[in-house]
Amino acid sequence: MGSSFLYSPSPSRFYSLTPALSLPSLSPVLLQLPHFPSSSISMRSRTLSKTITTPFAYVTGPASDPIFSECDPKIDGSDPRPEKVRPPTVISWGLLWMLLMKHKFRLVVSLVTLICCTTCTLSMPLFSGQFFEVLIGARPEPLWRLLSKVGMLYALEPILTITFVTNMNIMWEKIMSTLRAQIFGRILVQKVEFFDRYKVGELTGLLTSDLGSLKDIVSENVARDRGFRALSEVIGTICVLFALSPQLAPILGILMLTVSVSVAVYKRSTLPVFKAYGLVQASISDCVAETFSAIRTVRSFGGEKRQMFTFANQVLSYQSSGIKLATFKSLNESMTRVAVYVSLLSLYILGGNKVKAGELSVGTVASFIGYTFTLTFAVQGMVNTFGDLRGAIAAVERINNVFSEVQIDEALAYGLERELKQIELNDDNYKLFFSDNYTEENQQKYSHYMSALKSSSNLYSLAWSGDVCLQDVYFSYPLRPDVEVLSGLNLTLKCGTITALVGPSGAGKSTIVQLLSRFYEPTRGHITVAGEDVRTFDKSEWARAISIVNQEPVLFSVSVGENIAYGLPDDDVSKEDVIKAAKAANAHDFILSLPQGYDTHVGERGGLLSGGQRQRIAIARALLKNAPILILDEATSALDAVSERLVQDALNHLMKGRTTLVIAHRLSTVQNAHQIALCSDGKIVELGTHHELLAKKGQYTSLVGTQRLAFE
Ligand SMILES: Nc1ncnc2c1ncn2[C@@H]1O[C@H](COP(=O)(O)OP(=O)(O)OP(=O)(O)O)[C@@H](O)[C@H]1O
């Protein structure tokens, strides 16, 4: 591959930033944000700092005319966790209406063709009646003329049907793509606790089976005897029947009433069954995902039987809710049939007597019989559609429920919106995440927040030159609010130096990493960089300032080169830069020995590489990212001695000049750190160099002693 080769972000997976251009705002689905609780961010006036050099970071109006807010988020040290504000529903009637209105032309065409189709269908029994009248000589019209009218009708109806079905399907497919993308976007900007709460299978289920039910409500219901056509046929038939014979029409009215009652009963009784059905379906996909993603663990424990048992359990629950549903459906079906047969019999008796008495023509009764069947099909179709509608409503309820108890991560979502505002919107992929329905109120809210955030270049330079401090940090995980993991922790990571964090298991070391990464925010206290609270920067900017290499680095199932280039996901990274990073990470040689060199696929989560190789690719990725703050969380603990040396060399290269926090269980690996902090019970209890801490003869000394003993 030539030197001009670029690891260009694929539009479907990555963002590629270009200078600011205006574009429609992120959809309310993606960014329907709750009001900021006063406890999380309050505003204070601020004078504009001269150090802010990148006006685009503040853009709230046209790119060339940045507006600077006088307000700034004030982090007051109180609990930033928001009060319970119920977020707006994700899928609402209003949203569906708004999306439908984007396809006005198709909607009008569908409506017109629907009316024409129904008119054709409803004319057919009338012509059948006339046909019988012509045959018995009760109508003077020549047979050929009548038949040519029928022929035209038969030719027209399929053409209208094609137009109706195609338009409806295209329109709905487009709406569903938008909904899918926006729900995906909404999941993407949830707080990390959302991902603690929901399993991957459940979230996959929302986007596949639940949205699938919503899709089916149109795509499966555009046939002749279903959905809108069935509804329009029922209404049309009743009107025609009353026009033909007000005496006979009530018989079919009874049919309608019976079927409607059965639909209502069906509706009430099946909703919980549908819900249960959807939930079990989600747990099945969850079980499958969990089993196969952990297949090595399953094998190593001989856990196949257990997984089979769990899976069979889910399948049997699925089966029993399926059978319940089927029973409801069959009951409903037979009720409809009984109603039809009773109506037909009544029609034969009453209609026959009226024809005999000369009160009705044979043609009218023949038309009535035809309409009975039209009505039967249409009503049955409506029942089926109601069933689908139940399923779709249950699915929408499930989707809305998932989002009702959790909140989006504002600092991430607003930052993402600001970035997307700078992207040239020339690509359909991004358009899916946007909608025109952007109220002024929302815009003001977003602008206010965004203008209150500090500039990105400011953060980057601050992080290269200032210390990172955790000041009096308290924290408990949102899912376990009663357990205080950090309680008044103070720690300063001096700029450009290495701080090692050691301590017993469960002391809160990884929690500190999670807070520094801003996956969670402290319950109380601050994290600052060069004195600035990190909450005054949006999360995507913060993500650029910090690199994390942990014990089990996650690689994407793309090539080695693309994995390294992911260090700068928004940029076109040249192959030279990728190779440079790989060389510095001691990875170049082994990459060249792979079958396709840098183009070798690494498999799912990097499964086709060894642990040490994965680690060195992760280090190359971090080197390319060139973030000023570096966190190494047990980065070498899973490696053998040879790999560890190679990785350690790479890490030494990576740590140079960066503010580094190293977590390691093996104390031998952190002895040379500039300072060692011992974390215990959610606090830093000892701080100093290796020798200083040994001289103290405190907890660190006993930890070292324990490890020595273990080695001896
Ligand atoms: N996502 C989470 N939700 C709730 N509690 C958590 C979560 N992650 C960790 N904890 C709890 O927080 C406490 C601190 O865990 P943490 O992982 O920070 O410890 P650690 O010092 O890194 O331990 P180790 O050295 O064993 O990795 C533990 O009691 C743990 O059970």
Beta-bridge mates of residue 675: 499
Two tokens, residue 372: 């009975």
State the distance from the centre of ligand 1 to the C-alpha of 452, rounded, in angstroms. Answer: 33
pTM above 0.90, yes or no: no
Q: How far apart are CA 42 and CA 160, in angstroms?
A: 60
Average predicted confidence (pLDDT) for the chain: 76
Residue of 509, 512, 520 best suited for mutating to test ligand 1, as the one with most atoms within 8 Å of CB: 509
Q: How far apart are CA 463 and CA 537, in angstroms?
A: 12
Beta-bridge mates of residue 547: 630
Quickly tell me which residue has 């994700």 as its tokens: 90
Could you read off the pLDDT of 111-154 as tens digits, one per residue? Answer: 999 899 888 888 888 888 888 888 888 788 888 888 999 899 88
> How confident is the model at residue 425, as a pLDDT?
56
Q: How far apart are CA 111 and CA 103, in angstroms?
A: 12
Beta-bridge mates of residue 473: 489
Go through 489-519 and write b for each residue having 16 or more CB atoms within 10 A of its CB, e for each that does not: bebbbebbbbbbbbbeeebbbbbbbbbbbbb
**Residues in contact with 594: Cβ distance below 8 Å, sequence separation at least 6, in sequence order:** 560, 600
Cα atoms found within 13 Å of the Cα of residue 486, Cβ hemisphere only: 30
> How confident is the model at residue 12, as a pLDDT?
35
Do 630 and 654 form a contact (C-beta atoms < 8 A)?
yes
Order of strands, sheet of 468-475, starting from the edge strand that comes earlier in the sequence: 486-493, 468-475, 524-529, 532-533
Order of strands, sheet of 546-550, starting from the edge strand that comes earlier in the sequence: 546-550, 629-633, 659-663, 498-502, 675-680, 683-688
Q: How far apart are CA 687 and CA 492, in angstroms?
A: 10
Residue of 197, 476, 477, 703 best suited for mutating to test ligand 1, as the one with most atoms within 8 Å of CB: 477
Angle, CA of 267, 270 and 275, to the nearest 5°: 120
Least confident of 44-53, 332-341, 467-476: 44-53
Residue nearest to atom 25 of ligand 1 (CA): 505
Q: How far apart are CA 606 and CA 230, in angstroms?
A: 52
Phi, psi dihedral angles at 260 (to 5 degrees): -60, -40
322, 324, 326, 329: CA torsion to nearest 10: -140
Instruction: Give 105 or 439, the one with higher predicted confidence.
Output: 105
Could you read off the pLDDT of 643-694 as tens digits, one per residue? Answer: 677 777 777 777 788 899 988 777 777 788 889 999 988 889 999 988 888 8
Cβ neighbour number for residue 300 with a 10 Å cutoff: 9
State the distance from the centre of ligand 1 to the C-alpha of 593, rounded, in angstroms. Answer: 39
Q: State yes or no: pLDDT of 446 exceeds 60.
A: no
> How confident is the model at residue 641, as a pLDDT?
66
Residue nearest to atom 31 of ligand 1 (CA): 506
Do 172 and 216 form a contact (C-beta atoms < 8 A)?
no
Two tokens, residue 666: 């093996």
Residues near ligand 1 (Cβ within 6 A): 196, 477, 479-480, 485, 503, 505-511
Residue nearest to atom 18 of ligand 1 (CA): 508
Beta-bridge mates of residue 679: 684
Q: State yes or no: pLDDT of 110 exceeds 70.
A: yes
**Would the CA dihedral through 659, 663, 668, 674 be positive or negative?**
positive
Q: State yes or no: pLDDT of 474 exceeds 90.
A: yes
ipTM given for this complex = 0.95
Cβ neighbour number for residue 151 with a 10 Å cutoff: 11
Q: How far apart are CA 374 and CA 359, in angstroms?
A: 24
Go through 15-54 and write b for each residue having 16 or more CB atoms within 10 A of its CB, e for each that does not: bbeeebeebebbbbbbbbbbebbeebbebeeeeeeeeeee
Q: How far is CA 341 from CA 337, 353, 384, 564, in A?
A: 6, 18, 19, 71
Which among 81, 63, 85, 42 has a CA at the least distance from the CA of 452? 42
Residue nearest to atom 4 of ligand 1 (CA): 477
